[in-house]
Amino acid sequence: MLAIEDIHVSYGRLRALKGISLTVAKGEIVCLIGPNGAGKSTTLAAIAGGVAASKGHIKLEGQDLAGVRPETIARMGVSLVPEGRHVFGTLSVAENLRVGTYMRADRSAVAADIERVLAMFPRLRERITSPAGRLSGGEQQMLVIARALLTKPRLLLVDEPSLGLAPKIVDQVYEILLAARQQEGLTLLINEQSSHRILKHADRIYVIRNGHIQLEGKAADLADGEAIKRAYFGFGEAASGDANEEEDAA
């Protein structure tokens, strides 16, 4: 469904992506794991059309996205859930969800789709009239994912859904993403800083560091975490690295 071939992205003189290649097959859940500043968000932004690659290709079902505007890429079925759970804090959960439907032409299907999404997120239904700003972090993460699902994406890009959430809530968020894949035929590319709870939910993993892909593999093959740790910190650094830092990342 998605094929990224050797893309380079710079912000002025800073080279953020130095030749990233990755693929996501239809129906897969692929996680891009890497430390702060590795280039994870930049990769998602490049796919969604927010930043331009100076070199390389991004192809969505064979179509090159170079020069295609973000709105057009969204209409082609790509939805980005940015980092930071941007909800409209004073609007209710219901109003936040309706925002996800503004772009759609099939107005008559909207009510049924909101109903279907709420069936997937019972917690949001309970809080449907609450201002979104009053929700917990986990609930806000579910709300931004639910809102993105209402744009009817085929490819959902999610930037660090786990950030700052309790482990149990992280699992709940992933269970919903897995259910969405099942029910909506969704394909997912998800950024995370840590692989610890993610390996059991993802199909494949890429480790990115310093603008390069360091490691790629099936989540099942990487389950012991050792290869990921080495790629994440770099080979030399892993041996002499700060034990606490490794603890945090793993």
Ligand X SMILES: Nc1ncnc2c1ncn2[C@@H]1O[C@H](COP(=O)(O)OP(=O)(O)OP(=O)(O)O)[C@@H](O)[C@H]1O
| Residue ranges that bind Mg ion, judged by CB under 5 A | 40-41
> How is residue 51 annotated by DSSP?
S
Q: Is 209 in the site for ligand X (CB under 6 A)?
A: no
Could you tell which of ligand X, Mg ion, none binds residue 34, using a CB distance below 5 to 8 A set by kind?
A: ligand X
Binding footprint of ligand X, residue count (CB under 6 A): 12
Residue placing its CB nearer to ligand X in the complex, 92 or 210: 210
Tokens of 172: 């709940």
Q: What are the residue ranges of helices labelled H in 30-136? A: 40-48, 70-75, 93-99, 110-120, 122-126
CB of 14 to ligand X, least distance (A): 5
Q: How far is the CB of 38 from Mg ion (least distance, A)?
A: 8
Stretch that binds ligand X, among 33-41, 62-70, 101-109, 177-185 (CB under 6 A): 33-41
Question: Judged by CB under 6 A, does residue 38 bind ligand X?
Answer: yes
Using CA atoms, how far apart are residues 234 and 198, in angstroms rounded to an integer? 20
Question: Rule CB under 6 A: which of 59-118 touch ligand X?
Answer: none
Give which of 171, 178, 113, 170 is closest to 137, Cα–Cα: 170
Considering only the stretches 8-16, 110-118, 164-172, 231-239, report the one whose residues sit in contact with ligand X under the rule CB under 6 A.
Answer: 8-16
Distance CA 46, CA 59 (A): 11
Measure the CA–CA gap between 63 and 42, rounded to whole angstroms: 20
